[in-house]
């Protein structure tokens, strides 16, 4: 993306003008970037039709960013008919080039059977690739497959491993799930202090309605099982975690 740096102020209008010159000469990267500017409405009026046109030109030349963008448009039905089959087609092309978002989305389509046959083995395959790239949503989803034994052998230890990776990135849902595992001693040694820490982090975030009441309730129950010193230590640990994460740009 055209951003501040190397002594050049951010100017999306100028970026669009220069990308257009290269795009019209067939440069796939410039076509992809111009499509992104139209999609976001930066430097040009927001125009999904133009985004589709430029992304398609770039995608047909093998540009993974444009392929992923087209997949998103077909998935959501933005200025094109919603078409999960087309979404899967373009996501797969980008996923095979290592685009983590496309890998996650392709796994999602396989999990729900949208545009492709329902297949949790394939969901696990693509989510693992995205998870190994550090994608927190994929890490959380892969952990859920291990928890339930869908597409992979049931393994709470593996669920805990992937949920921890996502939880450490601030993913609230996996913080809660990791806390539950420590509370129950599933896949990890039962550890009320560790359970409190993760549940306390999760309780401060936006939780899914299905667990929004359970998280603070179980956290408070766990708190009653800790010594005052242990509780104070975990509360301070949570406070420092929040400080560290708020300090990140």
Residues 123-149: tens digit of each pLDDT = 999 999 999 999 999 999 999 999 999
* Residue-by-residue DSSP string for the chain: ---SBTTB---HHHHHHHHHHHHHTT-HHHHHHHHHHHHHTSSS---HHHHHHHHHHHHTTT-HHHHHHHHHHHHHTSSS---HHHHHHHHHHHHTTT-HHHHHHHHHHHHHTSSS---HHHHHHHHHHHHHTT-HHHHHHHHHHHHHTSSS---HHHHHHHHHHHHTTT-HHHHHHHHHHHHHTSSS---HHHHHHHHHHHHTS---TTTTTHHHHHHHHHHTTS-HHHHHHHHHHHHHHHHHHHT--
Tens digits of residue pLDDT in 170-206: 999 999 999 999 999 999 999 999 999 999 999 999 9
The 10s digit of each residue's pLDDT in 18-38 is 999 999 999 999 999 999 999
Tell me, yes or no, whether 83 lies in a domain: no
Query: Does 103 map to a domain?
Result: no
This prediction has a pTM of 0.89
Q: How far is CA 160 from CA 201, 228, 235, in A?
A: 16, 27, 22
Q: Return the pLDDT at 247.
A: 55
Instruction: List, for residues 200-242, the tens digit of each pLDDT value.
Output: 999 999 999 999 999 999 999 999 999 999 999 999 999 999 9
**pLDDT for res 245:** 86
Statement: residue 3 has pLDDT above 90:
no
Q: Is 80 contained in some domain?
A: no
Q: What is the pLDDT of residue 6?
A: 39
Q: Does a structural domain hold residue 236?
A: yes
> Rounded to an integer, what distance in angstroms lies between the CA atom of residue 156 and that of residue 186?
6
Residue 41 pLDDT exceeds 70: yes
Q: What angle do CA 157, 159, 161 make, to 5 degrees?
A: 70
Does 19 reside within a domain?
A: no
At 7 the pLDDT is 42
Answer yes or no: is 26 within a domain.
no
Q: ∠ CA(64), CA(91), CA(148), 5° rounding? A: 130
Domain assignment present for 214: yes
**Would residue 212 count as lying in a domain?**
yes
Span 66-89, pLDDT tens digits: 999 999 999 999 888 999 999 999
Total structural domains within the chain: 1
Residue 218 belongs to what domain range? 170-241
């Amino acid at each position: 993306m055209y951003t501040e740096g190397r002594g050049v102020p951010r100017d999306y209008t100028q970026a669009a003008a220069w990308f257009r010159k290269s795009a019209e000469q067939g440069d796939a990267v410039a076509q992809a970037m111009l499509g992104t500017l139209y999609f976001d409405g930066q430097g040009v009026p927001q125009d999904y039709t133009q985004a589709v046109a430029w992304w398609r030109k770039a995608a047909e030349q093998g540009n993974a960013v444009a392929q992923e963008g087209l997949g998103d448009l077909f998935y959501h039905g933005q200025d094109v008919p919603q078409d999960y089959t087309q979404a899967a087609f373009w996501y797969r092309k980008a996923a095979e080039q290592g685009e983590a978002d496309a890998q996650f989305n392709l796994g999602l389509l396989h999990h729900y059977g949208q545009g492709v046959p329902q297949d949790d083995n394939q969901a696990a395959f693509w989510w693992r690739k995205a998870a190994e790239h550090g994608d927190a949503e994929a890490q959380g989803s892969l952990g859920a497959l291990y928890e339930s034994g869908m597409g992979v052998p049931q393994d709470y230890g593996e669920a805990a491993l992937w949920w921890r990776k996502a939880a450490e990135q601030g993913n609230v849902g996996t913080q809660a799930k990791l806390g539950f595992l420590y509370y129950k001693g599933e896949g990890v040694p039962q550890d009320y202090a560790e359970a409190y820490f993760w549940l306390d982090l999760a309780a401060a975030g936006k939780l899914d309605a299905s667990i929004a009441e359970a998280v603070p309730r179980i956290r408070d129950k766990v708190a009653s099982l800790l010594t005052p010193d242990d509780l104070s230590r975990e509360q301070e640990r949570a406070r420092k975690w929040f400080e560290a994460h708020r300090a990140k740009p």
